[in-house]
Chains A and B, each alone.
Chain A
Amino acid sequence: GEDVEQSLFLSVREGDSSVINCTYTDSSSTYLYWYKQEPGAGLQLLTYIFSNMDMKQDQRLTVLLNKKDKHLSLRIADTQTGDSAIYFCAESPRDNDMRFGAGTRLTVKP
């Protein structure tokens, strides 16, 4: 496909784990990213993974990469209400180009 694809909505209970999935398009992408957008704010880089890695862990965040399937996921452990936001997956198929998904709106219920 030509688009970076993500499901649009995810709802979890506070304290549960959240898993946001993404399918990207270009197997030559060197870096893959997860951004967080809170209401009225710009995109904040959460984490990224280099394409020769399978997994990256950063505190409550775990990124898994399956290059064969071009599948990227973001797991948030012990999800908090402050994690409610839109999460964007992005790939960088060439220098100075970023291709973003449509974003997954994460809602955390108390």
Chain B
Amino acid sequence: DTAVSQTPKYLVTQMGNDKSIKCEQNLGHDTMYWYKQDSKKFLKIMFSYNNKELIINETVPNRFSPKSPDKAHLNLHINSLELGDSAVYFCASGDIGTTADTQYFGPGTRLTVL
């Protein structure tokens, strides 16, 4: 069974559209994350949710809105897509505790905005 899954795997859309990317984890973790990977493979954190509550919100345009219906899901909705939004988006989950903060990543969603 896939631990962290994302859908869709590929998303191609026109500028100005609104799209969502879904993420689900079956590891029982309390915390989920969204990262954006730029063209140089650098991963930057966008959001983090702990038990459905937003705990990290980096400097991301407010066109990006995360939604967590329950602690196993963290979806990313993007309004009015722009060319610069093209990237691979990774979802991750993990536990916060006194041991290492290990995170498990999904396979990524490649978003292409035309």
Which residues of A does B touch, CB under 8 Å?
A: 3, 31, 33, 35, 40-45, 48, 50, 86, 88, 90, 92, 95-98, 100-103
Query: Quick check: which of B42-50, B62-70, B73-81 contacts chain A, the rest being far away?
Result: B42-50
With A31-B100, A31-B101, A43-B90 given, is the CB distance from A98 to B43 under 8 Å?
yes
Contacts of B50 in A (CB 8 A): 96
Q: List 5 A-B contacts (CB under 8 A).
A: A45-B104, A95-B101, A97-B45, A100-B43, A102-B41
Q: In the bound complex, what is the Cα–Cα distance between A71 and B48 (angstroms)?
A: 27
Contacts of A97 in B (CB 8 A): 45, 48, 56
Number of interface residues of B (CB under 8 A): 25
> Taking CB as reference atom, which chain A residue is nearest B37?
A100
Q: In the bound complex, what is the Cα–Cα distance between A90 and B35 (angstroms)?
A: 13
Q: In the bound complex, what is the Cα–Cα distance between A44 and B75 (angstroms)?
A: 21
Contacts of B45 in A (CB 8 A): 97-98
| 9 more CB-based (< 8 A) A-B contacts, given A31-B101, A96-B50 | A31-B100, A33-B100, A33-B102, A42-B104, A45-B103, A45-B104, A88-B41, A96-B96, A101-B42
With A42-B105, A42-B107, A96-B55 given, is the CB distance from A50 to B41 under 8 Å?
no
Per-residue CB contact flags for chain B residues 8-50 toward chain A (1 = under 8 Å, else 0) read: 0000000000000000000000010101000011110100101
Q: In the bound complex, what is the Cα–Cα distance between A88 and B104 (angstroms)?
A: 14
Q: Which of B96, B103, B106, B108 contacts A98 (CB 8 A)?
A: B103
- Is A102 touching B102 in the complex (CB atoms < 8 A)? no
- Is A86 touching B41 in the complex (CB atoms < 8 A)? yes
Q: Which of A44, A48, A102 contacts B40 (CB 8 A)?
A: A102
Q: In the bound complex, what is the Cα–Cα distance between A101 and B43 (angstroms)?
A: 7
Closest 10 CB pairs of A and B: A42-B105, A43-B105, A100-B43, A103-B41, A42-B107, A96-B48, A102-B41, A102-B40, A102-B42, A31-B100
